[in-house]
Structure 1
């Protein structure tokens, strides 16, 4: 699978922890940052793959599942710790679901939005990676 769990360095303190995301943590140049919030628990997000884009997903609050497919294998990862992110490399189908109440998903991307980088149909994705 074209994914990796990234440990986000944290500074632990009895008053609360601080997680630090700097250039040496993210394995690509950061070009875009956005977040998903107020997602209904029965809603799904994602449902696409990228041709060239890298993304790092972080659960800033709550939890959600990421269902990934590489064209042959499917894997589900639950994200629920804000110091552990999921790096999704290009040519990986992803769907996000099972959002807990108050969940916030931060997405750090290697490029700005480009519609031509998206593959939004699963059958087209399978054809593309073959």
Structure 2
């Protein structure tokens, strides 16, 4: 797995007549140790979550229920990933702008993060983000 490129990762799935099972293991399915887990739910129609980038944090997003779109922007190219299967996750390296939208009714987004919450790690201003990424090159 490339750790500097956003990518969809298929997770193990065990199909059973009693119900299916999938799981995530750090350093096996993710290139980082999980320091934080949080989830987004009950998002009103038309709302957008995210709207920021991280200087250091990496994330892995799974649609545990329902569906939503994740727009990723590295400052040059934008790409949309539609998440709608609980056995696929989206790895997002640090330094990528993200916006999550088009939440279906009763959708549930699980986000696993490589760092503890740190307000100083967030970049909320898109122009600052573009300049920050350009300076790093």
TM class, shorter-length: over 0.9
Deviation for aligned residue 1:27: 1.4
| Match 1:8 to one of 5, 8, 11 | 11
Q: Distance in 1 between matches of 2:45 and 2:93?
A: 26
Deviation for aligned residue 1:25: 1.7
Q: After alignment, is 22-31 or 91-100 more displaced?
A: 22-31
1:10 touches 1:19 (CA, 8 Å); kept in 2? yes
1:96 — aligned with what? 100
Q: Distance in 1 between matches of 2:106 and 2:8?
A: 23
Count of paired positions: 130
Deviation for aligned residue 1:2: 3.0
Q: Distance in 2 between matches of 1:112 and 1:35?
A: 14
> CA RMSD of the aligned region, Å?
1.0
Where do 1:1-130 residues align within 5 Å? Answer: 2-23=5-26, 24-130=28-134
1:48 touches 1:122 (CA, 8 Å); kept in 2? yes
Secondary structure at 1:57's aligned position in 2? strand
Secondary structure at 2:115's aligned position in 1? coil
What are the ranges of 5 or more consecutive residues in structure 2 without an aligned counterpart? Answer: none
What are the ranges of 5 or more consecutive residues in structure 1 without an aligned counterpart? Answer: none
Q: Distance in 2 between matches of 1:43 and 1:78?
A: 16
Deviation for aligned residue 1:108: 0.2
Secondary structure at 1:129's aligned position in 2? helix
Q: Distance in 1 between matches of 2:80 and 2:25?
A: 27
**Normalized against structure 2, the TM-score is what?**
0.92
Q: Distance in 1 between matches of 2:74 and 2:92?
A: 11
